[in-house]
Amino acid sequence: MPRLYGFEDMAYRRVRESEAGGIRAAASRRLLKQSYPAITGWMNDEGYRTTRGGLWKPDVLANVLDHPAIAGCVEDENGELVETGGPAIIPLADFKAIRAMRPSNDPEKQRADQREYLVTGSLGVCGLCACALGSSPSGNGSRGYRCVPSTAQRPGGCGKVRIKADPFETYLAEHVLAELAKPEVAALIEEARAGLLAQAAALRKEAAAARRRQAKLGQDYARSSGMSAKAFKAADYEFKQLIRESETQARFLEQAKHVPVGDIPDLVRWWKHAPLKAKKGVLILFLEQVAVYPAASRGSRTVDADRVALKWRQWDAGIATREQPS
């Protein structure tokens, strides 16, 4: 596992000054609101190289400047920054200012997706191989979803399922709005939303705990605890996987926070004008998974229960399993 740029050890206790200067320069430029491509271009021209000796890329530099260790901190289970007593390459105030410039924290700088998709993350899967569906515009530019064929970088997909986005998303909207219109269901929306957000918070805590254990693992290894490099890498990889999976699922469930509560007189009209994040939240609240199967015939535009299987979310033991609406 590569060490964090700017540090000699995995415990983030010994600063490598030859690299720390690059971090400070990059941070200064970022605070002046230079873009990451511009900063990495400058760093490469100045001779700065990554820990592996390669050229800098914008996403790699962004990850370094987003790592709490460069400000002498870690994140606690609530995502709050806590000082560790370790060395700080840049001041904490500068680190927080750089974090505040994340696109997700600046609505004015969020990019509008020219091809917005309602079904994202782990919600949509291929009915044949169970791999996640990806967005895939057709040759004429119309939106679509497909099972991405298996590659060395992304193994597993069969590549045999494709569906046009508009009729597919319309089908999903009709079904979730039919559920949302039921008085007995609408009365439980707020409670159900709170339940999913509680699950997301638990996943965040799990990821934070795993990150602390990962940091301790690095500290123990750096202190020559007798652990072999192979054992360290294997354990570190497991922590990385756990953290990634927990945080990904937490982000997925947190979309439910955008679901409105209270009476919505005209659901169809609301859906037509609702922001995409609210629509996604409704889908997440009602559906655990949407499986898409091949069309009955080539070129078919029919979207029905033979093509799309909906797995409805059960909010708690007191609510009976909802059948797929007909």
The whole-number pLDDT of residue 310 equals 95
pTM confidence score: 0.55
- Which domains does the chain carry? 17-109 (3.90.1750.20), 116-326 (no CATH)
Q: What is the mean pLDDT of each run of 10 residues along the chain (326 residues)?
A: 83 91 95 92 92 91 93 78 90 94 54 66 92 79 84 79 92 92 81 88 92 88 80 89 89 85 76 88 93 83 88 65 40
Q: Strands (DSSP E) along the chain, which ranges?
A: 73-75, 81-83, 124-126, 133-135, 144-147, 162-164, 287-292, 308-312
| SS3 call for 151 | coil
226: left (phi over 0), alpha (psi -120 to 50) or beta: left
The whole-number pLDDT of residue 110 equals 39
The whole-number pLDDT of residue 65 equals 95
